[in-house]
Chains A and B, each alone.
Chain A
Amino acid sequence: MTAVIIAGFLIEIPRIPILLESARNLFWHVPMWMTMSVMFFASLVYSIRYLAGGDPIHDRKAEALTRTGIWFGICGLLTGSLWARFTWGAWWTFAEPKMNLAALAMLIYAAYLVLRSAVDDPTQKARLSAVYNVFAATTLPFLLYVIPRQLPSLHPGADGNPAFSEITAPELRYIFYPAVLGFIGLAIWIANLHYRHATLAADR
């Protein structure tokens, strides 16, 4: 996994192929959202496993993955905002459904952490947050994939077609895919750190 991270970063920087300068943001902005989705999906899996088995390890893993996913989502929002300023002309636009719904998804997941900190009893906290996580994860595909495709959007890939199709040059993909893998690897490592912290805190 470390090798994947290193490769993801080393490959990216030396051979930057492209013409359209800010198109290089593809390697940064888009993997943020993919990483976030992977984190939230893995978190959903652990929440379901917690509900099925009641093992606190699964609860802690779900929490760690959600925390990591939120940080990557924040990265995605901030980078998207900067990119939007110089290609769409505004830091934030309410005409762009994906942008606003992504922010909404962030708030939904922030509420997960708020819920966790609001409940004192560990078992109840774990159970409530697992149920809430299932709810939050259910909204995610609709917020990020279904609704934006029903509305006019500035993002590529609106109007029904998948965002990553023939419009993406093959040279970009050689760097894009390792970047996605690299960021996911990095995120797994960060999530693991959060998990170990939660385990230490629980054992105390």
Chain B
Amino acid sequence: MQPLLPTDSTAYSQWAGAESDNVIIQTMASNDLIFVVLGVTLIIWFTLLFSLYRLDRKLTRLENSR
């Protein structure tokens, strides 16, 4: 399907990733960048999860030192 506007997301995916040979980058740029949103969500999820995991470890250390 032809993009109607230059700012259409299809046009975006042409210059913002489709030029790359990397399969991962190409996949991310496909489907109107929806995987970018997924990636952003996962980054937040894993960063916060990691921070809570570290807090958990600190608590374990505290418990063991009693």
Contact between chains at A197 and B36 (CB < 8 Å): no
- A75 to B58: give the CA distance in the assembly, Å: 21
A124 beta carbon closer than 8 Å to chain B:
no
Q: Is A20 an interface residue (CB 8 A)?
A: yes
Assess A85 versus B44: contact at CB under 8 Å? Given A22-B33, A197-B62.
no
What's the nearest-Cβ distance from chain B to residue A81, in Å? 9
- Partner of B66 from A25, A85, A190, A204 at Cβ < 8 Å: A204
> What's the minimum C-beta distance from A76 to chain B, rounded to whole angstroms?
9
A82 touches B40 (CB 8 A): yes
Residues of A within 8 A of B12 (CB): 86-87
The residue of chain A having its C-beta at the shortest distance from the C-beta of B33 within the complex is A22
Contact call A21/B66, Cβ cutoff below 8 A:
no
- The answer, yes or no, to whether A145 is at the interface (CB within 8 Å) is no
Contact of B39 among A74, A82, A190, A193 (CB under 8 A): A82
Number of A-B residue pairs having CB atoms within 8 Å of each other in the complex: 82
Candidates A20, A29, A88, A197; contact of B58 at CB < 8 Å? A197
Contact A87 B43 (CB under 8 A): no
Asked if B40 and A28 sit within 8 Å, CB to CB, the answer is yes
The answer to whether residues A86 and B62 also contact, given A20-B9, A71-B48, A75-B44 and a CB cut-off of 8 A, is no
Question: Total interface residues on A, using CB and 8 Å?
Answer: 29
Q: How far is the CB of B47 from chain A (nearest CB, A)?
A: 5
- A49 CA / B47 CA spacing, docked (Å): 30
| Chain B residues with CB below 8 A from A20, complex form | 9, 32
A194–B48 alpha-carbon span in the complex (Å): 13
Residues in A68-90 with C-beta less than 8 Å from chain B: 71, 74-75, 78-79, 82-83, 85-89
Rounded to whole angstroms, the CA-CA distance of A24 and B9 in the bound complex is: 13
**Minimal beta-carbon separation of B14 from chain A (angstroms):** 11
- What are 11 of the A-B contact pairs (CB < 8 Å)? A21-B31, A22-B9, A71-B48, A71-B51, A74-B47, A78-B47, A82-B39, A83-B36, A87-B16, A197-B58, A200-B59
**Top 4 A-B residue pairs of the complex, sorted by shortest distance between their CB atoms:** A22-B33, A21-B32, A79-B40, A71-B51
Name B's A-contacting residues (CB within 8 A). 9, 12-13, 15-17, 28-29, 31-34, 36-37, 39-41, 43-44, 47-48, 51-52, 55, 58-59, 62, 65-66
